[in-house]
Chain A
């Protein structure tokens, strides 16, 4: 295990940015997959950067995620190209990427995954609002607790905020510095070769320690939030009647499905003819119950999606963020998924070696 510290910068984002730029400059990697503030979008968008001269817009830890970038990351490493890419991802994005690897959607052969302690994200709209009144919001977020309170419900109740399955983990909870740690062989090699290649601009020194009690404290607080949220949500979905009250205003836009990083089917069954009903069928269904709400199959859609992906749900909360009707989709997914995964003895995104439960069948009696 190799750990290095960077003492030159008080803003952790700057230290990560320097690491990224040096990785590219020294040809340790061929490209970077990292949030990048271009001149058009107000929100840093995940971008694939290959020119070290064009790295100014890198915003590695802006407290916003336009979407869970695992799907986009997977599109870059769909198959091995020999182009080594450093992926700067949030812990929930890594979890989703791990699930996509297991679903044969991509390979990690050319990937170096770099992640960091996640303080959470604010909704896109909120971020733009904060940005309009404070152009230093990316930086201030990490020191100002009132800004941290603006994060999403999902983030506030997420207890898996430390990097898991990353090659390089960057810690800044429980330490004044940024501690870079090679958590896999690949990551350690990258860090040590980078360290010997450069002198000066990135002040990497061996050492660095993390006060685990601070990390544990945050974890405990978030776990408690999670418990409260889950028990509340269990009550909301306790039967079909209550569940339908929750999703009553759903307009079947399928945004939640599009935003979901692990809903990976190229052609979703809900867009096929199976759910394109003829007028005869609609009349028939209307006559059966007296009233048929349109569009139809809303309950069916949500329940099917839960049953299809609850074993892989990584709890990133993007489904709630994209809902135009303000339905707390993520709360219900996380609540159901936690129980499903617990009973199937599986944890989404945790162990890359463990096959997804539906493929791990044995002849048992």
Chain B
């Protein structure tokens, strides 16, 4: 049996974390191929359905990366995200998803190395956790 290769969706903000990913790229700092980056304009626009869709489609983890508090391009979008992500986490836990599968992290535009570290760390943790419960299941 081949080893389970996790699928991770990373929802990242255009201004900070995506730019950090760009910086990591130009600095030749590679990150695990399990991670699929989705660029959004702001973490404040993340609706719970994006996260739910990812998990129900069998994503093993969802990573959300935004600007440090105070650095948001839209003033406070990232702060709006904090409570929402927290609430979704509380809800997912009740449906049997381990809370470690959803992670919110601030990564600034200049933090290429931090981006790489975060991605490696998250991919390793999700890999160790094994398959998500929705992986091979029919979803109604």
Contact = CB atoms under 8 A, between A and B. Distances in A.
B139 A307 contact: no
Nearest to A360: B83
A361 B83 contact: yes
Contacts of B70: 363
Given A240-B95, A300-B49, A339 B139 contact: no
Interface size class of A (residues with CB under 8 A): 35 or more
Query: DSSP majority for the B interface?
Result: helix
A265 to B, nearest CB: 12
Interface stretch (A130-138, A140-148, A162-170, A291-299): A291-299
Contact of B94 (A237, A291, A344, A358): A237
Interface string A54-81: 0000000000000000000000000000
Contacts of A243: 95
- Most A-side CB within 10 Å, residue of B84, B90, B94: B94
A361 B80 contact: yes
Contact of B140 (A293, A306, A361): A293
Interface size class of B (residues with CB under 8 A): 20 to 34
Interface stretch (B10-18, B108-116, B130-138): B130-138
B83 A241 contact: no
A298 B140 contact: yes
Contacts of B88: 307
A240 B79 contact: no
Contacts of B83: 344, 357-358, 360-361
B87 interface: yes
Interface string A282-293: 000000010101
Contact of A234 (B91, B94, B140): B94
Contacts of A304: 48-49, 52
Interface string B70-105: 100000100110111011101100111000000000
A247 B134 CA distance: 16
A365 B106 CA distance: 11
B137 A240 contact: yes
Contacts of B87: 307, 310-311, 340, 344, 357-358
18 contacts: A238-B96, A240-B139, A244-B139, A248-B140, A289-B138, A293-B140, A298-B140, A299-B139, A299-B140, A300-B139, A303-B56, A304-B52, A306-B91, A344-B86, A344-B87, A357-B87, A358-B83, A361-B79
Interface of B: 48-49, 52-53, 56, 69-70, 76, 79-80, 82-84, 86-88, 90-91, 94-96, 133-134, 137-140
